[in-house]
Amino acid sequence: MNNFGVIEIASTTTKSTPGWAYVPDTAPALPAAVHSTSRKRAARNQPALTLSDLSAREETRIRKELEALDRDNPKDVNIPIPPRPGGGSRAQNKHTPNVRKILQSQKSFANHLDDYQAMLALAESNPAAAAALNAAQAKPSTPTTAVSKSASPAPTPASAGGASKRSAAAAKRAAAKEKQEQERKKAQHTPKPETESEKLGSTPPQQAPQRQQQEGDNDVEMSDATASTAQPPPTAPAAQISYPRVSAILPAYAKPPPAAHPGDADPLLVSRVPAFPSDDELRALMTAPPLSYLEARGAWGEEERRYPVRVFCAVCGYWGRVKCMKCGTRVCALDCLEAHREECVTRYGL
Amino acid sequence: MPASRKSRATGPPPPSTTLVLDNGADTIKAGFVTGGKADDAPRIIPNCLARDRHRKTYVGSELEKCRDFGEMAFRRPVEKGFIVNWEAQKEIWDREFFDENAPQKCDPSEARLVLAEQPNGLPALQTHCDQMVFEEFGFASYYRGIGPSFNAYRDIQAIFHTPRTPDTPVDVPAEVILLIDSGYSHTTVTPILQGRPLHPAIRRLDVGGKFMTNYLTRLLSVRHFDMRNETFIANEMKEAVCYVSLDFKGDLEKTWKGTRGERREDFVSGAGIAKDYVLPDSHTTFHGVVRDYDPGGASSRGRKAAVSTEDVLTLRNERFVVPELLFNPSDVGLSQPGLADLVMQSLSVLPIGLWPGLLANIVVVGGNARLENFIQRLQMELLERVPDECVVRVACPENPVISTWLGAANFARHEHVERLAVTKQEYEEYGAGWVARRFSAGLGVDT
Ligand SMILES: [Zn+2]
Ligand SMILES: [Zn+2]
């Protein structure tokens, strides 16, 4: 009986066969069990791996496997840009300095991510410098965008040259208008969107100044937005002016839904939920800034971490009920263990 | 909703032509909106430089001319969903859109660009993109927005086949959707209210088409032939045979050969799961072919096909353990929640009052949405996780690959584009930082 490298894993539902064991498929490597069994193996005069050796091998294997799954090609390839069909080539000398830099960059996504994380870390460790650094990173192009006509680096209203007066005035106007709006809304209170919004949306004379206000406002508002994360109210004046206005952010949900969707047979009756978020809550959500790349990555919480992960036979893909003690690889049964042995010996020696 | 075109306060009127690009890692979806009318469908362009075993290089749509995809190697300008290598991206864009004989010739100085990007991009890469668009290509007007949000500009209730009378107005953008985009690089979950993404709730699972193809390649290489240099062929195989299991344990049981010597009945018969796949021979055939499983054929020997000029693989659990990674990424040691848990994580940062609307309007787009049973499995798993009275509706548009483009084309005709797009003059006046902040601030709220 070949029982090469098998670890018996203690379990109440074990169906014993000489030398190896079936165990419930949900069992992850339980540290205690592995430890005790490897001592058992040691007692049988086998070269025993310590727990840390074993888990280090497993970790390394998984990490390498995940890296391989993430690649575009099995190995690094270098495919240069081929010459143009017909021998033609575009003039290469017209690039701006920004463009030249971008085209020459050989950075990978991982490099860019590292740069970004390093910037965040630095900002955190040195809060004094954080603001300046943040600003520089939020508009990394500023030193070089000077190729454009405007020499002003920061697009704040004050520095935006001719735009400054316009922006300031627009901001004032918008703020006043916002106040008016709020008062009017309070007075109205109930949703009455259709007629009013239509009127506003199709009134051409109003639109020209509106556009200006929007731009000016965005200037003002955005410099705020970079400083603090969620600051929804300032966005309102910018957006409200040129867009059909409604008195609630999600008007359909404020109405009795069945009437609003006469043809909708689906029981999508949101009104059944009592705690519909307030407009303030919605506004905050709808104007919150994007998360960073890593913040958005789905991650396990404490709870998920405790769940056992499923393990599979590395050879045939069935449940991995048996564990190779040399490398921690799981296999389903003896057939596959033998197949694994070949590879295992090649990789780790006898 | 009719697009209301507005004249801008300053400068010339907006360009009448918009180039709409969904610039994916695997393919570019490209088409025009001209004078308020959009192309029916985008052209789909491989977004890569590909080199075959005879060391001939194909750029973008030239790949159509390639017949033999054996040992094909790829260089992709888009990495992790984001344009990283502009040397390659520019070459492809030039040939497809800007060169004299480009198949979709476009004069940027008289056009607007609407470009879909992935959520949660790196600021430096976004700035590179904006700089290239204005300083190198010289578009007159430009908007860069996240792909999921563009889907809100489609007729979402039509995708759900919601019954309605012909005169029911179509809400564009849709009031509420939960958009799942599962593409080449990854899978994202984005709740969207009236076209505005709820940024704090956007979540990403780093499993996409590439990851799954590589996994299939690995399984085949362990069990059958060394396929490690045959990514293209493995990808075709994945698209042809893989499905999302609705009973993973049961399917796994049916495809197990058994213990030593034993060959279980289901294994021998194939149990309706096993399929034979004939690999291309690269002489007379260049694409693989799926066949019904022949129990008398390659079955019992397992490893190598019978003596024949054909290379036939019998695929069993490979068919469903590969897409299973979307729902159980920990199966390969990736410590991330599966898609249903990811949706729940996204919802968990939102007020509970929004859950019913979002759960009843889940739309899945991207190439992986074509995997059989994808939406059924997602719905099944979500129902296990939400309160009993919650309705869970999951839908996939007819062609999920071009959905983002179709949405972006609708957006390009919607008045929202006028509020969001930036002109070249504005870029030159206010700089790239201003443009980036403006795009990231989005529409704001209309009340
Ligand atoms: Zn096995
Ligand atoms: Zn081993």
Judge if B17-154+400-441 and B174-207+335-396 fold alike in CATH terms: yes
Name the residue ranges covered by the structural domains of chain B.
Answer: 17-154+400-441, 174-207+335-396, 210-323
pLDDT confidence of A327, banded at 50, 70, 90?
confident
Strand ranges across the sheet with B289-292: B289-292, B275-278, B312-315
CA-closest candidate to residue A193, choices B447, B443, B339: B447
A133 vs B: CB within 8 A: no
Does residue A162 sit within a domain? Answer: no
- Is residue B118 a contact partner of residue B370, using CB atoms and an 8 Å limit? no
Residue A235 has pLDDT above 50, yes or no: no
What are B127's two structure tokens? 């700035």
Does residue A338 sit within a domain? Answer: yes
Cis check for the bond before B163: say yes or no (omega within 30 of 0). Answer: no
C-alpha to C-alpha distance for B338 and B381, rounded to whole angstroms = 10
So what's the pLDDT on residue A59? 86
A191 vs B: CB within 8 A: no
What's chain A's Rg over C-alpha atoms? 32
Residue B93 has pLDDT above 50, yes or no: yes
Does residue A289 sit within a domain? Answer: no
Question: Could you read off the pLDDT of A76-124 as tens digits, one per residue?
Answer: 889 999 998 765 556 555 899 999 999 999 999 999 999 999 999 998 8
- Is residue A1 a contact partner of residue A18, using CB atoms and an 8 Å limit? yes
Please give the distance, rounded to the nearest whole angstrom, from the Cα atom of residue B231 to the centre of ligand 2: 27
Interface confidence (ipTM) of the complex: 0.93
Question: Could you read off the pLDDT of B62-77 as tens digits, one per residue?
Answer: 999 999 999 999 999 9
Which positions 52-91 of A are in contact with B (Cβ < 8 Å)?
Answer: 62, 65-66, 68-74, 77-82, 84, 88, 90
Amino acid at A36: S
Please give the distance, rounded to the nearest whole angstrom, from the Cα atom of residue A76 to the centre of ligand 2: 28
Question: Could you read off the pLDDT of B290-348 as tens digits, one per residue?
Answer: 999 988 764 444 444 445 678 899 999 999 999 999 999 999 999 999 999 999 999 99
C-alpha to C-alpha distance for A119 and A102, rounded to whole angstroms = 19
> Which residues sit with Cβ closer than 5 angstroms to ligand 2, an ion?
A 324, 326-327, 329, 344
A221 vs B: CB within 8 A: yes
Interface test with A, best of B211, B273, B343, B437 (most A CBs within 10 A): B437
CB pairs under 8 A between A and B: 385
Cβ of B175 within 8 Å of Cβ of A253? The answer is: yes
Does residue A218 sit within a domain? Answer: no
- Measured between CA atoms, how close is B212 to chain A, in angstroms? 8
CA-closest candidate to residue B30, choices B439, B396, B402, B364: B402
Cβ of A141 within 8 Å of Cβ of B351? The answer is: no
- Mean pLDDT, all residues of chain B: 92
Residues of chain B contacting residue A207, judged by C-beta atoms under 8 Å apart = 6-7, 9
B216 → chain A, closest CA residue = A69
Please give the distance, rounded to the nearest whole angstrom, from the Cα atom of residue A332 to the centre of ligand 1: 4
Token pair 């353990």: residue: B321
- Is residue B243 a contact partner of residue B326, using CB atoms and an 8 Å limit? no
pLDDT confidence of A248, banded at 50, 70, 90?
low
C-alpha to C-alpha distance for B247 and B269, rounded to whole angstroms = 19
∠ Cα B23 B25 B31 (to 5°): 25
CATH topology of domain B210-323: Actin; Chain A, domain 4 (3.90.640)
- Measured between CA atoms, how close is A40 to chain B, in angstroms? 26
Residue A218 has pLDDT above 50, yes or no: no
For residue A328, the enclosing domain spans 311-349
Residue A141 has pLDDT above 90, yes or no: no
DSSP B358: H
Q: Give the predicted TM-score (pTM) of the model.
A: 0.78
Which SS3 state, helix, strand or coil, does residue B311 take? Answer: coil
- Output the CA torsion sign for B198, B199, B201, B206: positive
C-alpha to C-alpha distance for B45 and B49, rounded to whole angstroms = 11
DSSP B364: E
C-alpha to C-alpha distance for B127 and B147, rounded to whole angstroms = 17
Token pair 């055939």: residue: B285
CA-closest candidate to residue B234, choices A73, A343, A336: A73
Contact residues for A172 (Cβ-Cβ < 8 A; gap 6+): none
C-alpha to C-alpha distance for B423 and B112, rounded to whole angstroms = 9
Counting the structural domains of chain A, the total is 1
Does residue A61 sit within a domain? Answer: no
So what's the pLDDT on residue A172? 46
Which SS3 state, helix, strand or coil, does residue B237 take? Answer: helix
Average the pLDDT over B402-422 and give the result.
Answer: 97
B439 vs A: CB within 8 A: no
B57-59 and B73-75 strand pairing: unpaired
* Cα-based distances in Å from A173 to A146, A168, B419: 31, 9, 18
Please give the distance, rounded to the nearest whole angstrom, from the Cα atom of residue A317 to the centre of ligand 1: 6
- Is residue B211 a contact partner of residue B333, using CB atoms and an 8 Å limit? no
Residue A247 has pLDDT above 70, yes or no: no
> Given 3.10.20.30, 3.40.50.1220, 3.40.50.2300, 3.30.420.40, which CATH number is that of B174-207+335-396?
3.30.420.40
- Is residue A161 a contact partner of residue A168, using CB atoms and an 8 Å limit? no
So what's the pLDDT on residue A97? 95
Cβ of A150 within 8 Å of Cβ of B430? The answer is: yes
Q: Looking at the partner chain, which of B198, B204, B444 has a beta carbon nearest the beta carbon of A298?
A: B204
Cβ of A266 within 8 Å of Cβ of B160? The answer is: yes
Does residue A167 sit within a domain? Answer: no
So what's the pLDDT on residue A17? 36
DSSP A74-110: SS----PPPPPGGG-----S---HHHHHHHH----HH
What are B190's two structure tokens? 């984005």
Contact residues for B303 (Cβ-Cβ < 8 A; gap 6+): B223, B224
Which SS3 state, helix, strand or coil, does residue B29 take? Answer: strand
Does residue A318 sit within a domain? Answer: yes
Residues of chain A contacting residue B357, judged by C-beta atoms under 8 Å apart = 253, 268, 270
DSSP B104-130: T---GGGEEEEEEE-SS--HHHHHHHH
- Is residue B155 a contact partner of residue B434, using CB atoms and an 8 Å limit? no
| Strand partners for A311 | none
C-alpha to C-alpha distance for B263 and A320, rounded to whole angstroms = 18
* Cα-based distances in Å from B393 to A43, A104, A237: 58, 47, 36
B4 vs A: CB within 8 A: yes
DSSP B96: I
Cβ of A139 within 8 Å of Cβ of B257? The answer is: no
Interface test with A, best of B54, B89, B135, B330 (most A CBs within 10 A): B135
Query: Does the domain made of B17-154+400-441 have the CATH classification 3.40.1260.10?
Result: no
- Is residue B300 a contact partner of residue B228, using CB atoms and an 8 Å limit? no
pLDDT confidence of A160, banded at 50, 70, 90?
very low
C-alpha to C-alpha distance for B369 and B232, rounded to whole angstroms = 19
C-alpha to C-alpha distance for A30 and A64, rounded to whole angstroms = 22
Task: Give the side-chain half-sphere CA count within 13 A for A24.
Answer: 10
- Measured between CA atoms, how close is B58 to chain A, in angstroms? 8
Query: Among A41-55, B194-208, B363-377, B395-409, whose mean pLDDT is lowest?
Result: A41-55
Query: Among A50-64, A183-197, A325-339, B370-384, whose mean pLDDT is lowest?
Result: A183-197
- Is residue B350 a contact partner of residue A332, using CB atoms and an 8 Å limit? no
Cβ of B123 within 8 Å of Cβ of A140? The answer is: yes
DSSP B197-226: E-GGG-EEES--HHHHHHHHHHHHHHHSS-
